[in-house]
Structure 1
Amino acid sequence: MTTKRLGTLAGSLLVGWLATGCGAEPAQEQVASQEQQLAESPVPLRPPVLDSLDFIASQTPSSATPGLLRARLAQGESASQIQLTGDDGKEVTLRDDGLNGDVTAGDGLFSGFGIVNLEEHRNNQDRIAAFQQQSTEPLTFATFDDRVLVRETSLVPLPGNIFTPGVPIPLPPTGIAQAVVPNKSLIINHPSVVGDPTRTWDPCTNTGNPNGVWTFKHLMTEMANTAATPPAFTERWLRHWLATQTVNGRTTPVRGNMATQVLNAWPRLSTGELDLNRSPFKLVAIVNRADLGRGRGGPYGSSGAGELRFVFSLMNSTNCQRPYNSFLVIFEYGVPRTQCAQVKSWAQSWLALSDPLLALGSAAYNTQLQNLTQQVVLRNMAPGKPNGSAINQVRTNEILLSTPWWEMREFRLFSTAANPRNFTTSAAPGHLSEHTTVLTPFDLFNNTTTITNFLTTNNGAILAGVHDVPLDFGATTNFLGAFPQMPTAGFFWNAPNLTTVPNGFNARHKFSLKTCNGCHARETSTGFTHVGPTGALSPFLATGMANMFTPYNVTDPVNGLVRPFYEIRDRAQHLDSAANQSCVLRAFDRVSASPH
């Protein structure tokens, strides 16, 4: 088919498409009402993987160019249709049925009409060319599938004359990892940020601003909203460790050290309530997990914008040389951005923090970062979730209470709309209540035939990186766990008779990597904290922070296979991609089902 014929075909079919319309975005109130369901929903289904995507414009390229989108599936993939989001925010369905823009039914070329911002796509070619000139090495785009680097392709700009009506314009996925400065836009632990005296509080020196926007007090106050006074809200949460809890039918243990090491040492007001102005929790990191939003959100990323996280360390006010040994609290917020244009704007704002003219920790930098964080942490930012809070969960990671080994717990705001089995039986509406830990069975099942059976039954989903761990598994009740522990530094999830499981060794690794204690231990050669009590990063993260193109190699504890990780490169590339690509290119995103 000639170029002229393509243009004529696209133009004539477009008339019918415009006459019928193609739907509208969901209303904002509808999106808000779904947020709680999203936070409790299982891992999303894996969309088909695309091999290629192109676009035939029916008129002069602009910021809203109508035309024909065409896609092919990757080898081995199958689908009856392909769903995209156009740059006008409307859903686009590509079909291979010979109708509505598709030329030949069953030829493997899926087609449909949509709107593409070709002006942005053309500008992105200029960015690629500019980075090519600056780089000493050829630019490449890395394809990651469930944290595994599966392919690298050359990243070269398209010729300018291809942006012509009737000419197929390739729409390959692009993301320039080099555009991102990781310690400014991904994991921020610089002392001038986490120790900013106008925004944080230092419980050891009693300096800073106790009402600062990055303080433990501020986050708890906004999360509590009107459910309770912030001190009462905080103490009720901490007292979970002082009474036996039942989560998914199994008992979580009492940890008396919560009283002796935390509550008794916490200064109180004359009313007897905790004095949140003198909270013993010190901020050690702010983390942008935009990567959890790929594929429209994973188990901990309830929106396409992923999560915003704050990491606090409990400090010993009588010995400020180091934190207590050790108690970390991680606030994990689902960024309240659902539509592609909103996600793109959010990503652009984080990418702007990498501007070389913006000094990390400067007044200007901290102001821009505050403008971002306040859009998420303030009350009523997520009207459809409990207390109007965007919080997905609060996790703790400690060895202080559960000595001699590390233990992790997860808490969510309880809502009567949620499945009560996920929560402790003493859950109260609007309060942080102990919750099951996503994708992690109770520890008692480790190295049992139950795990072998689970790896076999869910083999396809596990290998694809999109499995769920249900509350019950077959005849095994109370399977999904709580309070995962790490009794040794070399902990990992294992199962007998792996040779009977299809691709059993790889399935074991993928399953273990997604558990809380597997990811924080042997599967990543980590000592149970990826962000430590002083803000120091595990080698799994620090390697890429220093040089995102250097692999962090981990030897599999079962079969000895060396697995290279490029965690920071993956996160950086995704951020640049989300900030600078057309919305239709989100179809290349692989679902992120990794909660850590």
Structure 2
Amino acid sequence: MGPSKQIFTLAISAAIILLSLSWNRNNKKDQQQNNSSSYDAFFSSRRAAADFSDFDAGITNEFDWAYNLSNPKKIPPADDVMVQRIPGDNFHILVMAVYANASFREKFVTINNGGEDVVLRDDGTGNDKVAGDGVYTAKIYTDVKEFRKQALSMLKETIKDNWEPLFVDREFNYSKACDTNPFSEIKFDNNEAVSISNLTAAPAGSTTLDKVRNNCIFLTDLSVVEDPTRTWNCCTQTGNVDGPWTFKTLMKNLATQDPSQPASDQTVSDFVKAWLNSWAVQKIINEDTVPARTLVNDKILNPWLAKSLAAGNPEGFLDMRFAPFKLTAIVNRFDLRERASGIPAGEGRMIFCLINADCTTAENFTTIFEYGINKKDVCDSLKSWATQWFKLKDLTLGSSQYLSALQAITDQFTLCGSNPNRTHQSSIDAVRTNEVALAATDPPRWEFREFGLNGNVHALVQKTVSQIPADRYNAQIDNADVERMVKFVNENSAGIDSDAYEVPNIYDGFAFLGGKSTILDTPVGLPTKPYHWDGVNNNKSVAFISTTKTRHIFSRNACSGCHAGEVQTFFTHVDPVFFGTAATLSGFLTGTAGRGGAVDADGNPSNDAFKVRDAANRGNGTERFHVFNDIKRRATDLKQVATTTCTTVFSLRNELMFHPVGAVH
């Protein structure tokens, strides 16, 4: 942010503060009424718990949760959001963001709400009652009567849905299902502070939400992924090889450097061949040895070249009509917005699996094209993008209208030119692979690789895998490497718990991120056998991860943890399938146990909730189990944003409580 913009923003913030102080002086009588016994009763516990000894020192955790005009997104999600009427004022309301004691220690929180910065204070001045108690207060404009009407309508729907538990991070949190201080009409009318955190515009069990889940989030239906107008069948040579969702077209868009000069077929062939050839060469990436997977020649490259030659092409040319990849899913990752690594509006993804050379079955090889959405990180822009996806719910899945609308969405991130400020003007964030088909080891090991578009060589180049230390750090024995990994986890526990951390390339003077990630044990079954990330089980050792929650989130955010024992997933969240079969999904995604013997700890396959015992067999009570249904979580989030008007109390609530996803999956 430039100096002039900072000065302007500071001026606006100062004006807001002065207005708040002015309101406070001119409404002393109302402020006294506001300090009612019921108000004091609610905040007395927070006042008693407040520790002022280091408040002015501005102590922050490892990730510097600071009020920072140049980086205002470094604010953790609030534990609760409350509202309170101002006696005699029908056009303003107090909004309070509540943080657990000491989880956030700054004097201000600033949130952009529909183009306006709202400053919530915890310094005991203006509308804030007690400095340092973790309750951040702002007075905002709203039609109180309309707000009350909307809140009561939402309350009725929430009650009708039996106080459906909220998602906290990526899990169902039943302790948040019915707050100790839920919205109450009587309390609100008596000018008491009441929670609005559990009021949702979309009850989780509603018909609308089911349509969002089916039509707007994770699209695997054959009417979509095998649409003959937009996809291609390499085995029957039918469809449209130049369709917008084909492997050829996506690779062509990556190989194209200027949208006005599309890459030639020869350029696309060279681009794809260079990517495949890179698998056959051993590499050292961040001091991590990535062994060659030479089966890439036998299973992919040589059969493809042979078919291309037989069809009359020059020797060494890859004819994209024989590209052995089938589209299995189109995925909306709007929920990835505001991730710590910088994805302001989330991602869109296209997932393919490998088809064997004989065209008889699918191979255990998945390729994912992950595109960052080139939209502004402001309410109006995010709501507009969410609404485009949300409207798909009103169309018949697979109809011509639906497919046209979906293509209009995907074109915004798959085409060259969709982000002029990035390499090849492409929106691509990464191309990831998850495969065991090319493993020549005994036993064969599933391996994850990550590729980025490199503008210097105009190629997909393998790089470190995000958020995952090298395999040697997960030996789960007490040695120097494991102790180093555990040191990082323990030192950064607060950031990990808030999903706001980055695993660095170098840590403590040593290469840390892996050049690849491998699943080194069985993926599903009863703990602690399934593969997961951990130190050692001896709590007296420096190789012991101190906190159960931190260990789980760190492991779950590593691909080799999430695709294995941490969430009981049998290697793939989207299972490879042959043409004519829709891909099945993991229990983590759907709420119902997936393939390979995944264990649903509650034994109930129809309750829309996949319950997983802690992979390290740690924790007591709720920490012992983790309950997932990620598609439902994503659908709830999408509908909430799409149906909430910007600049309102509820849009502010949504932003304050939004929990960015720290994982890449």
TM-score class, shorter:
0.7 to 0.9
Q: How does 1:72-91 map to 2 (within 5 A)?
A: 72-91=98-117
1:373 is aligned to 410
What is aligned with 1:450?
484
- Cα distance in 1 for residues equivalent to 2:135 and 2:613: 41
Question: 2:661 maps to which residue?
Answer: 592
1:308 corresponds in structure 2 to 348
Q: Which moved more, 1:466-475 or 1:532-541?
A: 466-475
1:517-557 deviations in Å (ceiling 9; x for gaps): 11101111111100011221123223359989532122234
Map Cα deviations across residues 542-587 of structure 1 (whole Å, 9 max, x no partner): 3359989532122234326333223233222212222223431211
Cα offset, 1:12, TM superposition = 6.0
Change (3 A) 1:506 1:262: same
Conserved? CA contact 1:10–1:67, under 8 Å: no
- Give 1:469-484 correspondences, 5 Å limit: 469-475=503-509, 477-484=510-517
Find the aligned partners of 1:297 and 1:469 in 2 and give their Cα distance.
13
Q: How many residues align?
A: 535
Over 3 Å counting, the alpha-carbon distance change for 1:146 and 1:120 in structure 2 is: farther
Query: Aligned Cα RMSD in Å?
Result: 3.7
Unaligned runs of 5+ in 2: 1-18, 27-70, 477-481, 523-529, 578-582, 595-604, 619-623, 645-649
In the other structure, the counterpart of 1:465 is 499
Distance change in 2, residues 1:110/1:553 (3 Å): closer
Match of 1:203 in 2: 234
Residues 452 and 498 of structure 1 are in contact (CA less than 8 Å); yes or no, is this contact kept in structure 2?
no
**For each residue in 1:463-482, what CA deviation from the matched residue of structure 2 results, as whole angstroms up to 9, or x when unmatched?**
4433332212214x221102
C-alpha displacement of 1:88:
3.0
Q: Distance in 1 between matches of 2:249 and 2:139?
A: 47
- Which residue of structure 2 lines up, in the alignment, with residue 405 of structure 1? 445
Q: Is the 8 A contact 1:220 1:230 kept in 2?
A: yes
Deviations 1:397-430 (A, max 9, x none): 1111124221110011235xxxxxxxxxxxx444
Map 1:280-359 to 2 at 5 A: 280-293=324-337, 296-299=338-341, 302-303=343-344, 305-320=345-360, 322-324=361-363, 326-337=364-375, 338-355=377-394, 358-359=395-396
Contact 2:255–2:458 (8 Å) recurs in 1: yes
Going from structure 1 to structure 2, the CA distance change for 1:170 and 1:508 (only over 3 Å counts) comes to: closer
CA distance in 2, matches of 1:95, 1:286: 42
**1:353 shift after superposition:** 2.0
Query: What residue is the counterpart of 1:551 in the other structure?
Result: 609
| Aligned equivalents of 2:23, 2:147: Cα separation in 1 | 23
Say whether residues 1:54 and 2:83 are aligned partners: yes
Structure 1 residues 162, 351: CA separation in 2 closer, same or farther (over 3 Å shift)?
farther
In structure 2, relative to structure 1, the CA distance for the partners of 1:483 and 1:118 (3 Å cut) is farther
SS of 2:566's equivalent in the other structure is helix
User: Partners of 2:396 and 2:25 in 1: how far apart?
Assistant: 51
Q: 1:579 aligns with which of 629, 642, 662?
A: 642
**More displaced, 208-217 or 574-583?**
574-583
Deviations 1:231-253 (A, max 9, x none): 22222222210222221123211
* 2:165 and 2:173 in contact (8 A); partners too: no
Matched-pair contact (CA < 8 Å) for 1:93–1:112: yes
Per the alignment, do residues 10 and 454 of structure 1 end up closer, same or farther by CA in structure 2, a change over 3 Å counting?
closer
Residues 189-228 of structure 1: pairs in structure 2 closer than 5 A: 189-226=220-257
Larger RCO (CA under 8 A, 6+ residues apart): 1
CA offsets, 1:339-361, max 9 Å, x none?
22111122222222223xx2221
Distance 2:612 2:550 in 1: 16
Answer yes or no: is 1:541 the counterpart of 2:592. no
- Please report how far the alpha carbon of residue 220 of structure 1 lies from its aligned counterpart in structure 2 after TM superposition: 1.5
- Deviation, 1:200, is 0.6
| Partners of 1:329 and 1:118 in 2: CA distance | 51
CA deviations on 1:53-75 (whole Å, 9 max, x unpaired) are 437699998xxx87764433344
State the AA in 2 paired with 1:408. F
SS at 1:311 equivalent:
strand
Consecutive unaligned residues in structure 1, runs of 5 or more? 1-8, 17-41, 416-427
Larger mean Cα displacement after TM superposition, 138-147 or 541-550: 541-550
Paired position in structure 1 for 2:633: 570
Task: Name 1:496's counterpart in structure 2.
Answer: 536
Q: Secondary structure of 1:523's partner? A: coil
1:434 aligns with 2:462: yes
- One-letter amino acid of the structure 1 residue matched with residue 494 of structure 2: G
- Judged with a 3 Å threshold, the aligned counterparts in structure 2 of structure 1 residues 371 and 488 are, in CA distance, closer, same or farther, namely same
- Contact in 2 for aligned 1:549/1:566 (Cα 8 Å): no
Is 1:92 matched up with 2:118? Answer: yes
Moved more, 405-414 or 466-475: 466-475
- Aligned equivalent of 2:270: 232
8 Å Cα contact 2:121/2:128 also seen in 1? yes
Determine whether 1:138 maps to 2:162.
Answer: yes
* 8 Å CA contact 1:397, 1:408 repeated in 2: yes
Contact conserved, 2:21 with 2:125, CA < 8 A, in 1? no
Which of these two proteins has the greater Rg computed from alpha carbons?
2
* CA gap 1:469/1:396 in 2 versus in 1, 3 angstroms: same
In structure 2, the CA distance between the partners of 1:86 and 1:441, relative to structure 1 (3 Å rule), is closer
TM-score, normalising length: structure 1: 0.79
Greater displacement, 216-225 / 434-443? 216-225
User: 1:350 and 1:75 mapped to 2: Cα distance?
Assistant: 38
| The 10-residue stretch of structure 1 (96-105 or 232-241) with the greater mean CA deviation from structure 2 | 96-105
Who is 1:180 aligned against?
A: 209
CA displacement at 1:92 relative to structure 2: 2.1
Q: Which amino acid aligns with 1:287?
A: V
Q: Is this contact kept in 1: 2:346–2:373, CA < 8 A?
A: yes
- How far the C-alpha of 1:290 sits from its partner, in A, is 1.7
When residues 468 and 564 of structure 1 are mapped into structure 2, their CA distance, relative to the original with a 3 A threshold, is same
